[in-house]
Amino acid sequence: MSIDPHGGTLVDRLLTGDALEAAKTRAKSLPTLKIDTYAAFDVDCIAKGIFSPLTGFMGEAQVKSVMDNMEVRPGVPWAIPILLAASKAEADGFEIGGEVALEDDEGDIAAILTLSEKFDVDRTALVEKVYRTTSDEHPGVAYTLGMGEVFLAGDLDVLKARSIEHQDHNLTPTQTRAEFEKKGWKRIVAFQTRNPIHRAHEYLTKCALEMCDGLLIHPLMGTTKSDDIPGDVRMACYESIIEHYYHEDHTMLSLMPVNMRYAGPREAVMHAIIRRNYGCTHIIIGRDHAGVGKFYGTYDAHEVFNEIDADALGITPIFFDHSFFCKACGNMGSIKTCPHGNEDHVFLSGTKVRDMLQAGEMPPGEFTRPEVAKILIEWATA
């Protein structure tokens, strides 16, 4: 028996058949709003049930409930508002109760919004509660403060399923649930990542897998920061390390086409909810999950789950401390398992690793597998 989706129903807003053809015809006569890549990914997430139970973009009451209570409705946890914005001039041309065609960044009509509400909220309060900072050096804050003056709410009818690179790995929640059923997995742990898997990641994923039937390596492939490693490079790294170091009967790779919001603790909650919708029963929450810069404490993303009703969340977070290779132990470990001091621990910062890669130097085997290092060196020195 698979885990229930968040809110009880797996949403599907993708039109097909006659309904799709009718919507395409109707869209030609509707006022149009051009949306960016970020909003287009959110439309896709709503369409495929990744954001279940959302059926469209949030209204003012939902946004305030999420801000203040971390609930989209009573008893249903939610941590980050899902917003669609327009300029005041654009919004003035849309009627409440009417329909708006949403033209995506690829020039296609991706969806029709049935407009239920036009509103705004205190943007400073919004970013302070969601991102725990008002600094525009935070990418999520900068994006949110730069959105149009008016938020638009309403249900979506979606005409287009968005495709991304490595589309064969871009499984919907319905598809991952079917795969888990086929494999006979009952306890499935998800691993969230936006970086190549290094030895510490490998260690904690395998520790979690010892408690579960299957591991879903689920890299985020929506919009990310410009200095993050490109998706195609990361995919090559994932495929290589899975081929050489993970058991094929207990490991699955699928992509998560969701925007990276860098919201730290609140995003950790969102990542848990999303993985529940994909059919996972557990999720790995590491140190500084979904963090950026120095905006969050090392374990803020662990502590936030104390504010969420575990039964309502419906998926079990597995918390991990900082992991490393210990020369004295001759093995991977963490501050919970290793008794030795920092002088025996192999720590490499992201900056140090990038410097090594750009110089064509192989990072030590204690940090990353050689197959992964080779891919990264070829990318960094190209």
Rg (CA), the chain: 21
- Same domain (yes/no): 75, 129: yes
Within a domain: 1: no
Pair 117, 153: CB distance under 8 Å: yes
Within a domain: 332: yes
pLDDT computed for residue 340 by the predictor: 96
- Same domain (yes/no): 12, 118: yes
- Prediction pTM value: 0.96
Q: Phi then psi for 128, rounded to 5 degrees?
A: -65, -40
Q: What distance in Å separates the CA atoms of residue 171 and residue 328, rounded to the nearest whole number?
A: 42
- Same domain (yes/no): 104, 177: no
Domain stop point among 127, 158, 189: 158
Question: Which tokens in the block code for residue 275?
Answer: 């993985």
Pair 369, 245: CB distance under 8 Å: yes
- Same domain (yes/no): 151, 293: no
Taking phi first (over 0 means left), then psi (-120 to 50 degrees means alpha), and beta for anything else, what does residue 257 get? beta
Q: What distance in Å separates the CA atoms of residue 324 and residue 334, rounded to the nearest whole number?
A: 6
Range of the domain at 52: 6-158
Q: Phi then psi for 317, rounded to 5 degrees?
A: -80, 140
Within a domain: 116: yes
Q: How crowded is residue 30: how many other Cβ atoms within 10 Å of its Cβ?
A: 17
Q: What distance in Å separates the CA atoms of residue 241 and residue 197, rounded to the nearest whole number?
A: 8
Q: Which residues are catalytic?
A: 194-195
Within a domain: 67: yes
- Same domain (yes/no): 248, 105: no
- Same domain (yes/no): 125, 271: no
Within a domain: 244: yes
> Total domain count for the chain?
2
Of the CA atoms within 13 Å of residue 286, those in its CB half-sphere come to 20
- Same domain (yes/no): 83, 187: no
- Same domain (yes/no): 251, 309: yes
Cis check for the bond before 53: say yes or no (omega within 30 of 0).
yes
Within a domain: 296: yes
SS (H, E, C) 34-100: ECCHHHHHHHHHHHCCCCCCCCEECCHHHHHHHHHHCEEECCEECCCCCCCEECHHHHHCCCCCCEE
Question: Which tokens in the block code for residue 208?
Answer: 């979690």
Domain stop point among 132, 158, 184: 158
Question: Which tokens in the block code for residue 211?
Answer: 């408690």
Within a domain: 272: yes
The CATH number given to whatever domain includes residue 309 is 3.40.50.620
Tokens 């992991």 map to which residue?
Answer: 323
The CATH number given to whatever domain includes residue 109 is 3.10.400.10
* Per-residue pLDDT tens listing for the chain (382 residues): 579 999 999 999 999 999 999 999 999 999 999 999 999 999 999 999 999 999 999 999 999 999 999 999 999 999 999 999 999 999 999 999 999 999 999 999 999 999 999 999 999 999 999 999 999 999 999 999 999 999 999 999 999 999 988 999 999 999 999 999 999 999 999 999 988 999 999 999 999 999 999 999 999 988 877 777 888 999 999 999 999 999 999 999 999 999 999 999 999 999 999 999 999 999 999 888 999 999 999 999 999 999 999 999 999 999 998 899 999 999 999 989 999 999 999 986 666 777 888 888 888 899 999 999 999 999 988 8
pLDDT computed for residue 354 by the predictor: 76
- Same domain (yes/no): 86, 190: no
Within a domain: 282: yes
- Same domain (yes/no): 210, 296: yes
- Same domain (yes/no): 265, 131: no
pLDDT computed for residue 349 by the predictor: 66
- Same domain (yes/no): 84, 213: no
Residue whose C-alpha is closest to residue 191's, from 320, 84, 74, 310 = 320
